[in-house]
Amino acid sequence: MSAAIEVDAISKKFRLYREKPSSLKQRLLSGHLRAEDFWALREVSFAVESGTSTGLIGHNGSGKTTLLKCIAGILRPTEGTIRYGGRVAALLELGAGFHPELTGRENVYLNAAFLGLSRKQTDAVYDDIVGFAEIEDFMDNQVKFFSSGMLVRLGFAVAVHVEPDILLIDEVLAVGDESFQKRCLDKIRSFQADGRTIVLVTHALDTVVAVCDRAVMLEHGVVHMQGTPMDVVAELRHRLLRDDPDFVAEEGTREVEIRDVTILPGGEPGQRLHPGEDLVIEVDLLAHEPVPDVDAAFAVVSAHTNEVVLVGRTSDMGSTLGPIEGSRRMRFRVPATDWVGGKYFVSVGLEAPGGSPYHIQTQRYSFEVVEAERLPVPLVVDARFELEDP
């Protein structure tokens, strides 16, 4: 496979002026210019294999849109180069590339021309474009009278019908009703089936997992992580949680302290839990002073959905730990259950029964569930039936 896009160590510097002179007059009157350099991207490198789909994700302001604009050729990187293995079409913003004074029809030709199509080639796909966008009746109206949904539909319709080798999409599909979003996804899938390349910037992380083959996470303008969408999305979700002002990583009086937690999938050291294995969470704790009783608890959070999937508490299991003095080791044993594949985070807490927390560590530990091979055999379940007179 060859690379459709090769981003080689690109950096993008913006100059932030305190007071940017927007006229020659101001420029001449204000002598020294005070400007600060802001690096929106630093040494970003990654490659998109031909025929694959990559999701670019990150916080707001992490540089993903700047990166996409560089790839689209709208911004010129300050340093580094980008190589392409085909024709690029970009779908950046609502109504981007549309001229408000022109009619829908004229704008289709204008946009197709931007994407490198001749008038004749556009004639050939014009009906398909209008059909996909479902705005036949409005094509001779000026675009400034279009609703935002109509603009997005038309923009997307043009971009996918000019048959680019590489399609760049930035967060536009969020507009439009569900049926259109579904058709967009269908179109994207048929696009993928044709062996075309897609780069997608979005905050809809589920879309990245559902659509992309790879994901790249940016943070403060550098590539923080790249890998499978599942892993990268999990990492971003975790980061987002950490940045939440309500999120407290650790709290408690520390009279009894969590020294260490080891996740033991199947009772063995490791990171990957296979189907049918028990999950063992081993907690080393240290009581600085003897305490009469400790209630221990754990929670397992799916990194993918960010929801708590499992909780356990010693007091609910029949007893608490009892008096603790010095260092002790305890284990939770979670029997095998129907795990969904993916990454999980583990929170652990110690507290006085019915009292204040000694020590709580939120989502500090993690493990991964290896998805069970789906057997092509129908499952025989323990179903029941009833028979009664109508």
Partner 1 sequence: MLGAIWSVLNPIVFLAVFTFVVKILGNETPHYAVFLLSGLLAWNLFSVALGNGTRSVIDNGNLVKKVSFPREVLPLAVVGVALFDFLLQSCVLLIFMVVTGYGFHLEALILYPLSFVTLVVFTTALVFWVSAVNVRYRDVQHLIGLALLVWFWMTPIVYPGGLVQDKLTAPTAPFTPHLWTVYLLNPLTPIISGFQRALYYTVTAPPTLGTPHPVRVLPDVSIAWLAGVIGLVLAGSLVLLYLAWRLFFRLSGDFAEEL
Select 99 or 274, whichever has its Cβ closest to partner 1: 99
Closest Cα to residue 228, out of 382, 131, 343? 343
CB of 90 to partner 1, least distance (A): 6
Q: How far is the CB of 170 from partner 1 (least distance, A)?
A: 10
DSSP 179-236: HHHHHHHHHHHHHHHTT-EEEEE-S-HHHHHHH-SEEEEEETTEEEEEE-HHHHHHHH
φ, ψ dihedrals at 128, nearest 5°: -65, -40
284 in Cβ contact with 261 (< 8 Å): yes
Nearer to partner 1, 201 or 300 (CB): 201
Q: How far apart are CA 82 and CA 73, in angstroms?
A: 9
Provide, rounded to whole angstroms, the least separation between the CB of residue 75 and partner 1.
5
Nearer to partner 1, 76 or 333 (CB): 76
Smallest gap, in angstroms, from Cβ of residue 93 to partner 1?
6
Residue of 377, 274, 283 lying closest to 330 (CA atoms): 283
297, 269, 264, 299: which is closest to 281 by C-alpha?
A: 264
Burial class (CB in 10 A: 0-12, 13-18, 19+), 127: exposed
In the complex, minimum distance from the CB of residue 21 to partner 1, in angstroms, rounded to a whole number: 7
Q: Are 247 and 347 in contact (CB under 8 A)?
A: no
Number of CB atoms found within 10 A of residue 366's CB: 17
Instruction: Please choose, from the candidates 87, 68, 70, 370, the residue with its C-alpha nearest in 3D space to the C-alpha of residue 228.
Output: 370
Residue 168 or 232: the one with the smaller Cβ distance to partner 1 is: 168
Residue 257: other Cβ atoms inside 10 A: 16
Closest contact distance (angstroms) between CB of 38 and partner 1 is: 11
Q: Which residues bind partner 1 (CB under 8 A)?
A: 14, 21-25, 27, 69, 72-76, 88, 90, 92-93, 96-97, 99, 111, 114
Report angle CA 108, 102, 22 to the nearest 5 degrees.
Answer: 110
CB of 15 to partner 1, least distance (A): 9
Closest to partner 1 by CB, 78 vs 366, is 78
Residue 278 and residue 333 in contact, taking contact as beta carbons nearer than 8 Å: yes
261 vs 263: CA distance, rounded Å: 7
Residue whose CB is less far from partner 1, 82 or 264: 82
| Distance of closest approach, residue 240 Cβ to partner 1, in angstroms | 28
CB-wise, 102 or 241, nearer to partner 1? 102
Nearer to partner 1, 101 or 260 (CB): 101
